[in-house]
C-alpha cells in the first residue's frame, strides 16, 4: 500500500521540531502533504495560556516565537546539534512548505473547521502532532486514530505537561513515548519508546531538548511506515493523576533532585 | 525559590507580631484607612501554634514571647464555665461560642505542650469539656452558633477536641468529637462537596470554610489513625481542589456552589493557602509530589499579593482578605487569619520539600 503522506502540526511558524520532522521524513521519501500552524497571536489562545501559566509565560515565550533558542548558554542545545548534524537550515515552516510543495495552513485553533475539511480532503496516512493545543473530537474522529504524538515521559506513569521534568521528580524512567492520540490526555495506545540518559552536564533545559530530539527520531521512524504492523501496541490505561506545569518552588526542588542524581 | 518562601514567611510572621494589641490579643485585621481592628480571641488562639512553630524553626524569640502573651490573654478571658465568647473583644454581651472556643483550644493545648504548665491543661480541659457537654445525641451542638445552624466546618471544632483528648486522655471528649465528625460526614454530596459548609446554610461557601471543613476531617483521621473514616471520604473534594488549583494556575474563585461552580469574581486569599495546606497534608498521607505542585501554586498566588517596604507598617507582610482588595471576602481588610494560614502553608511547604531532599540524598547514599 502506498504511503499517503503526513500532515504536521505546529504551535508557531518557527517551530524547529516541526521543520526537523518534515525534513527527516522528506529524506526518507515520505510525502509531507502539509502543515497546520496554529497562530500564537490569537486572543483566545493567548488568554488561555496566561490563565494557565501566568503572564510570565507570555514574556518568556517571545524569543522562542521569534525563532531564537530557548536553551540558556549554560545548557547543551541538543536540538541545535541535531539540526547541524542533519544539515537542517530552515527556520520557518512556511519557507520549507513553499520550497517543497507542501500546503501551509495558518489557523487560530487546531480544531478549526478548516482543519477538519483539509484533513478530509488530504486523507494523510498520519497526522503528526508537534504542538498547537489540545486536539478535540472533531479532528480525532476525522483521522480515525491515525494521530501520532511524542510524549516526553513514560506512559502511563507520567501523563500531561512537563513530562520530562516530572519523570525526574517522580523517579520514573527517562524516555519518550510515541503513542496515538485519543480523546484523553496522553491516554492513546503506546507504539514505541525511546529511552535516554541524564548526563553529568545536563540541565533541565538540555534534558527537555534531548527528549525533543528523541521525539523527532521516534515520530519519523513510526510515520515513515504506512501501518503499525511492526509494533506491538500497548494499551495505555492510566489511573495516574495528570501532571501539570511545575510551579517555581517545584522547579527549585527539581534542580535539587537533578543535582543529587548527577552526583551518582 | 525556597529563599523567597522564607522571605515571605518572615514578613508574615513580623506582621502577626505587629498585630498584637497592647496587653491583649491579635488584632482581627488591618484596614489601610481605619488602622488595626479590635483583638479577635478566636484567631489569636490559633495564631499561637504558628508563632511557636516559627520560633522553633528560626529560633526567633519575639515569636515565642508573643505567643505566650496571646496565651496569657486568652486564659484571662476564659469564662468560668469553660467557653470563650464569640466575636471581637470585648464582647458586647455574653455569647458562648462553639467555634471560637474550639479555635482558642489550638493555642491553649499547644501552650501546654510547650511548657508542661498545668494552667494550660486545666484551661484546655475546661474548654473541651464545655464543648463536649453541649453536643446532643445527634452529634450537633445545641447552642453557641455564629448563625442559626451547625455548619459543617465544625469539623474544625472536633479536631482541637481530639487534640485535647489525646493529651489529657479524656475519653468523653474524644467520643463526643467523633460523634460530631460522624454526623458531619453524612452531609457529603456525591461530588465531594458538603451541604452547609459555608457561613450560611444554603449559600455558596467561601474557600475559607471549605478548607476549614476538609482540614478538620483530615486532621481527625490523622489523630484517630484511621484514614478510611474521614480522610478517604474527603479525597474526592481534594481531587477537585487539586484540579482547580492547577487549571487556574493557583488562583481559586472566592466561593463555590454545591456543584463546584465558582460564584465570585475575586479570590479569597486565606482560602487559597488553607487549601494548599489541605493538599500538602494529603501529600503527607500518599506521598504524591503532584499535590505539592498544586499547593505551591496556591501559595505563590498569595505570595504575589503580599506588600513589602511600604511606608504603612500595617501593610508590610499583610495578606488581604480578597484579591482584588474590594472583593466581598473581608473587603478592604487584611485579616490576621490570612497571615496565619499563609505562614502555616509556607512553613509546611518548606518542611516537606526539605524532607524530600533528605529522602533523595539518603537514597543516593544507600
User: Is residue B153 within 8 angstroms of chain A, CB to CB?
Assistant: no
Please tell me the distance in Å from A208's CA to the nearest CA on chain B: 19
- Name the band, by pLDDT with cuts 50, 70 and 90, for residue B320: very high
How do residues B78-101 score in pLDDT, each as one tens digit?
999 999 999 999 998 999 999 999
Q: How many residues does chain A have?
A: 264
**pTM of structure:** 0.92
Does residue A71 have a pLDDT over 80? Answer: no
Closest Cα in chain B to A161:
B246
What does the alpha-carbon distance between residue B52 and residue A220 come to, in Å, rounded to a whole number? Answer: 59
CB contact under 8 A, B296 and A51: no
Tell which of B6, B9, B242, B293 to mutate to test the A interface (max A CBs under 10 Å): B293
pLDDT exceeds 70 at position A49: no
CB contact under 8 A, A252 and B1: yes
Do A260 and B247 count as a contact with CB atoms less than 8 A apart? no
B6/B194 Cα distance (integer angstroms): 35
Give domain status of residue A203, yes or no: yes
Domain that holds residue A59: 6-263
CATH of the domain at B176: 1.50.10.10
Q: What is the CATH number of the domain that holds A85?
A: 3.40.50.12230
CB contact under 8 A, B357 and A251: no
- Residue among A52, A253, A256 whose CB faces B249 most closely: A52
Asked whether the predicted pLDDT for residue A75 surpasses 90, the reply is no
> Does residue B42 lie in a domain region?
yes
- Which strands make up the sheet holding A103-107, listed edge to edge? A103-107, A32-38, A6-10, A126-128, A147-151, A175-180, A190-195
**Is residue B364 situated within a structural domain?**
no
Does residue A227 fall inside a structural domain?
A: yes
Closest partner residue to A53 among B249, B294, B357, by Cβ? B249
Count up the domains in chain B and report the number.
1
Is A27 within a domain? Answer: yes
Instruction: Say whether residue B323 is in contact with chain A using an 8 A CB cutoff.
Output: no
Residue B21 DSSP symbol: P
Give residue B82's pLDDT: 98
Q: Is A251 on the interface with B (CB under 8 A)?
A: yes
Q: Kindly report, residue by residue over B120-177, the tens digit of the pLDDT.
A: 999 999 999 999 999 999 999 988 888 889 999 999 999 999 999 999 877 999 999 9
Chain A residues in contact with B349 by the CB 8 A cut-off are: 249
Residue B363 in domain? no
The rounded mean pLDDT for chain A is 91
Terminal CA-CA length for chain B: 28
pLDDT tens sequence across A164-176: 999 999 999 999 9
What is the model's pLDDT at position A264?
74
In a domain, B366, yes or no: no
In a domain, A1, yes or no: no
pLDDT bin (cut points 50, 70, 90) of residue A60 is: low
Strand partners, B39: B27
- Residue B77's pLDDT band, with cuts at 50, 70 and 90, is very high
Domains identified in chain A, total number: 1
DSSP three-state, residue A182: coil
Domain containing B99 equals: 2-358
Amino acid at each position: 500500500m502506498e504511503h499517503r503522506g503526513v500532515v504536521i502540526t505546529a504551535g508557531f511558524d518557527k517551530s524547529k521540531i516541526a521543520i526537523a520532522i518534515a525534513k527527516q521524513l522528506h529524506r526518507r521519501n515520505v510525502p509531507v502533504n502539509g502543515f497546520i500552524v496554529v497562530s500564537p497571536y490569537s486572543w483566545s489562545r493567548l488568554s488561555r495560556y496566561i490563565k494557565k501559566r501566568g503572564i510570565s509565560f507570555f514574556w518568556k515565550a517571545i524569543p522562542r516565537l521569534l525563532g531564537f533558542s530557548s536553551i540558556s548558554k549554560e545548557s547543551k542545545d541538543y536540538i541545535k546539534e541535531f539540526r547541524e548534524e542533519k544539515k537542517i537550515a530552515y527556520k520557518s515552516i512556511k519557507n520549507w512548505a513553499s520550497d517543497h510543495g507542501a500546503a501551509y495552513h495558518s489557523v487560530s485553533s487546531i480544531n478549526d473547521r478548516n482543519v477538519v475539511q483539509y484533513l478530509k480532503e488530504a486523507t494523510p496516512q498520519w497526522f503528526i502532532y508537534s504542538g498547537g493545543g489540545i486536539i478535540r473530537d472533531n479532528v480525532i474522529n476525522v483521522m480515525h486514530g491515525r494521530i501520532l504524538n511524542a510524549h516526553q515521559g513514560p506512559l502511563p506513569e507520567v501523563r500531561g505537561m512537563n513530562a520530562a521534568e516530572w519523570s525526574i521528580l517522580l523517579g520514573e524512567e527517562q524516555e519518550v513515548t510515541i503513542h496515538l492520540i485519543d480523546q484523553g490526555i496522553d491516554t492513546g495506545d503506546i507504539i514505541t519508546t525511546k529511552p535516554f540518559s541524564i548526563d553529568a552536564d545536563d540541565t533541565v533545559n538540555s534534558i527537555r531538548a534531548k527528549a525533543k530530539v528523541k521525539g523527532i527520531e521516534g515520530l519519523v521512524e513510526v510515520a515513515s511506515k504506512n501501518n503499525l504492523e511492526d509494533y506491538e501496541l500497548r494499551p495505555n490505561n492510566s489511573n495516574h493523576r495528570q501532571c501539570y506545569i511545575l510551579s517555581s518552588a517545584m522547579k527549585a526542588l527539581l534542580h535539587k533532585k537533578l543535582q543529587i542524581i548527577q552526583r551518582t | 525559590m525556597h529563599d523567597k518562601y522564607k522571605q515571605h514567611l518572615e514578613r508574615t510572621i513580623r506582621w502577626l507580631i505587629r498585630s498584637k494589641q497592647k496587653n491583649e490579643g491579635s488584632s482581627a485585621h488591618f484596614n489601610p484607612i481605619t488602622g488595626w481592628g479590635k483583638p479577635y480571641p478566636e484567631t489569636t488562639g490559633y495564631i499561637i501554634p504558628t508563632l511557636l512553630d516559627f520560633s522553633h524553626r528560626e529560633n526567633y524569640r519575639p515569636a515565642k514571647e508573643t505567643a505566650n502573651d496571646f496565651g496569657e490573654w486568652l486564659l484571662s478571658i476564659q469564662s468560668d464555665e469553660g467557653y470563650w465568647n464569640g466575636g471581637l473583644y470585648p464582647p458586647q454581651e455574653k455569647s458562648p461560642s462553639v467555634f471560637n472556643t474550639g479555635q482558642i483550644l489550638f493555642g491553649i493545648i499547644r501552650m501546654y505542650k510547650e511548657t508542661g504548665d498545668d494552667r494550660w491543661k486545666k484551661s484546655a480541659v475546661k474548654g473541651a469539656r464545655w464543648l463536649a457537654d453541649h453536643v446532643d445525641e445527634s452529634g450537633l451542638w445545641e447552642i453557641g452558633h455564629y448563625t442559626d445552624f451547625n455548619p459543617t466546618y465544625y469539623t474544625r471544632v472536633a479536631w482541637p477536641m481530639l487534640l485535647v483528648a489525646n493529651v489529657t486522655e479524656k475519653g468523653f471528649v474524644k467520643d463526643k468529637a467523633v460523634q460530631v465528625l460522624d454526623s458531619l460526614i453524612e452531609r457529603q454530596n456525591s461530588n465531594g462537596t458538603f451541604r452547609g459548609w459555608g457561613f450560611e446554610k444554603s449559600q455558596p461557601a467561601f474557600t475559607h470554610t471549605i478548607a476549614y471543613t476538609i482540614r478538620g476531617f483530615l486532621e481527625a483521621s490523622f489523630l484517630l489513625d484511621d484514614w478510611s473514616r474521614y480522610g478517604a471520604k474527603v479525597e474526592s473534594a481534594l481531587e477537585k481542589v487539586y484540579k482547580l488549583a492547577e487549571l487556574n494556575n493557583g488562583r481559586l474563585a472566592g466561593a463555590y456552589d454545591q456543584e463546584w461552580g465558582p460564584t465570585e469574581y475575586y479570590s479569597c486569599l486565606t482560602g487559597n493557602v488553607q487549601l494548599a495546606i489541605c493538599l500538602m497534608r494529603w501529600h503527607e498521607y500518599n506521598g504524591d509530589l503532584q499535590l505539592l505542585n498544586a499547593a505551591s501554586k496556591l501559595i505563590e498566588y498569595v505570595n504575589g499579593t503580599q506588600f513589602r517596604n511600604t511606608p504603612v507598617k500595617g501593610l508590610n507582610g499583610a495578606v488581604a482578605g480578597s484579591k482584588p482588595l474590594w472583593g466581598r471576602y473581608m473587603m478592604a481588610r487584611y485579616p490576621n487569619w490570612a497571615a496565619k494560614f499563609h505562614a502555616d502553608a509556607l512553613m509546611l511547604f518548606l518542611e516537606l520539600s526539605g524532607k524530600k531532599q533528605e529522602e533523595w540524598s539518603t537514597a543516593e547514599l544507600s
